[in-house]
């Protein structure tokens, strides 16, 4: 049987299974396992299933996931996220659009703890949306700020998106974490600029909230310092070569538990809820990685990546044209595919094509170097962020709808549009200036 036809049939079957609400991890396992039986043999398929599952379960680097997830869950349960939003609100809420600015700043800070866009949007949204409604903010602006600000959870480290990308490409998790810092700050700044421009042209959509005095500002900032301290210690430790990513995650989780105990928020019920949420999220991510590990050998046997790369090279497209086509394809796929599903399904096909093209040379990056994969990882995660707010599948849109049930979906999508365009601008800047993503990972110590 023609391997290419088997591969195409496998990709179609995955999409069919996903359309029937089969989790992407299970869909990849089924297709990868059956495909290996067809293209190789039953013993080879069974050996792949056993070895990949076991090797993923014992892979030391992946312990970064439960530690960082635990850290974010503890911070959310003991009120650190609310303190962070209140601190941002105290300092910028007095200006027009200030509560929306505070929402983005709160999401930015919480993203550095949770590593999850959905968790960031849900946690900050529960605090910010009622507050903005109380001061008469336009519902579209409020919904857009929460949904877009929440996407920063998978760009600013720690990021589950970077962890999965690192496993798929065998790249350093620490370098990818550091690569996301400056692009994350840049994108957050673009969101703030987007809010400023909207309020400048239509002041009524973002009325000023009350002005805090200096004492209140200092007190609010003091309550939010616990999160800032955890971020500086964990991420700064990676940059300074003091910690590996796994050690930084463990230190961050311990610090979060320490601050929770200091606030007297630790209880058996709280610990049970935090552990259950941590286990649930960790298992989901592990299943995705295992599914990708089983699907990848099948995809390699189909020879689809090699043949597609050869076909595109034969067209002699310019590097920019090829890159634009690839990025546009990812953006379109993000409108109907879950972001992580898109990464694990399409990345093994697309990355070899980009590596064999003239794109790395055009960007002054060697295709065989770590720099190229790190840069492309940042580009991938930004596109995943865009997928999170792209209709009709955008997960953060449904998170906002779940919090603000009285806001129609149409208004949420209208509110998201300016922030989506800001993401496009950010993507273009990162393509034009790859070194923005590489400054920190290339200067890290240790």
Q: Give the pLDDT confidence of 46-68 residue by residue, as tens digits.
A: 999 999 889 888 888 888 888 88
Mean pLDDT of 100-104: 90
Task: Mean pLDDT check: name the lowest of 4-13, 173-182, 206-215.
Answer: 206-215
For residue 199, pLDDT over 90 is answered with yes
Q: pLDDT tier at 230 (50, 70, 90 boundaries)?
A: confident
Mean pLDDT of 422-427: 95
Mean pLDDT of 199-221: 85
Distance (Å) of CA 418 to CA 196, 293, 423: 11, 37, 9
Question: Which pLDDT score, from 0 to 100, does residue 184 have?
Answer: 93
Q: pLDDT tier at 445 (50, 70, 90 boundaries)?
A: low
State yes or no: cis peptide before 100, omega within 30 of 0.
no
Residue range of the domain that includes 328: 3-443
* Tokens matching residue 416: 């998201």
Mean pLDDT of 245-255: 89
Per the structure, the count of domains in the chain is 1
The three-class DSSP label of residue 243 is coil
For residue 446, pLDDT over 60 is answered with no
Q: What are phi and psi of 391, to 5 degrees?
A: -70, 150
pLDDT tens digits, one per residue of 112-129: 777 778 878 888 888 888
- Mean pLDDT of all residues in the chain? 86
pLDDT tens digits, one per residue of 364-404: 887 667 899 999 999 999 998 898 888 777 788 888 888 88
CA distance 206 to 139: 10
Angle formed by the axes of helices 80-92 and 117-134, nearest 10°: 50
State yes or no: cis peptide before 155, omega within 30 of 0.
no
Q: pLDDT tier at 191 (50, 70, 90 boundaries)?
A: very high
CA distance 423 to 188: 10
* Tokens matching residue 37: 């039986």
Question: Which pLDDT score, from 0 to 100, does residue 367 have?
Answer: 65
Mean pLDDT of 240-260: 87
pLDDT > 70 in the chain, percent: 99
- pTM beyond cutoff 0.85: yes
Question: Which pLDDT score, from 0 to 100, does residue 62 have?
Answer: 85
Question: Which pLDDT score, from 0 to 100, does residue 365 have?
Answer: 82
For residue 407, pLDDT over 80 is answered with yes
Other Cβ atoms closer than 10 A to 261: 12
2 or 93, which is more confident?
Answer: 2
Which one of 57-61, 193-197, 326-330 scores highest in mean pLDDT? Answer: 193-197
């Amino acid at each position: 049987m023609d391997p290419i036809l088997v591969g195409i049939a496998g990709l179609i079957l995955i999409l069919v299974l996903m359309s029937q609400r089969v989790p992407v991890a299970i869909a990849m396992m089924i297709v990868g396992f059956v495909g290996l039986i067809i293209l190789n043999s039953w013993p080879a398929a069974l050996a792949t299933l056993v070895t990949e599952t076991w090797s993923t379960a014992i892979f030391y680097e992946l312990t970064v996931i439960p530690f960082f997830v635990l850290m974010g869950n503890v911070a959310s349960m003991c009120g650190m996220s609310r303190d962070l939003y209140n601190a941002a609100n105290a300092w910028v809420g007095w200006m027009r659009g200030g509560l929306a600015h505070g929402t983005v700043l709160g999401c930015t800070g919480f993203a550095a703890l949770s590593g999850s866009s959905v968790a960031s949007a849900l946690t900050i949204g529960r605090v910010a949306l009622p507050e903005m409604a109380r001061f008469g903010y336009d519902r579209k602006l409020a919904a857009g700020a929460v949904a877009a600000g929440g996407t920063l959870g998978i760009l600013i480290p720690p990021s589950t998106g970077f962890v999965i990308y690192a496993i798929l490409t065998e790249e350093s998790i620490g370098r990818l974490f550091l690569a996301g810092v400056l692009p994350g700050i840049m994108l957050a700044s673009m969101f703030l600029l987007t809010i400023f421009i909207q309020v400048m042209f239509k002041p009524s959509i973002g009325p000023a909230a009350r002005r805090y005095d200096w004492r209140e500002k200092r007190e609010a900032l003091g309550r939010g310092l616990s999160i800032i301290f955890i971020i500086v210690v964990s991420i700064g430790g990676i940059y300074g070569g003091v910690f590996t990513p796994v050690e930084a995650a463990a230190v961050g989780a311990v610090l979060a538990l320490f601050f929770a105990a200091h606030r007297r928020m630790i209880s058996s019920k709280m610990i049970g809820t935090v552990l259950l949420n941590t286990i649930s999220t960790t298992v989901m991510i592990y299943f995705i990685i295992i599914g990708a590990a089983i699907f990848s050998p099948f995809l390699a046997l189909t020879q689809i990546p090699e043949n597609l790369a050869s076909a595109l090279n034969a067209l002699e497209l310019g590097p920019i044209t090829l890159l634009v086509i690839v990025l546009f394809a990812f953006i379109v796929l993000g409108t109907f595919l879950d972001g992580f599903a898109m990464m694990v399904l399409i990345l093994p096909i697309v990355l070899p094509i980009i590596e064999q093209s003239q794109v790395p040379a055009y960007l002054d990056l060697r295709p065989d170097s770590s720099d190229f994969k790190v840069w492309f990882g940042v580009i991938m995660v930004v596109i995943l962020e865009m997928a999170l707010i792209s209709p009709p599948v955008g997960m953060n849109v449904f998170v906002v709808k779940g919090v603000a049930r009285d806001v129609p979906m149409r208004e949420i999508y209208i509110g998201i549009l300016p922030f989506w365009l800001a993401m496009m601008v950010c993507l273009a800047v990162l393509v034009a200036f790859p070194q923005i993503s590489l400054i920190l990972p290339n200067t890290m110590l240790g």
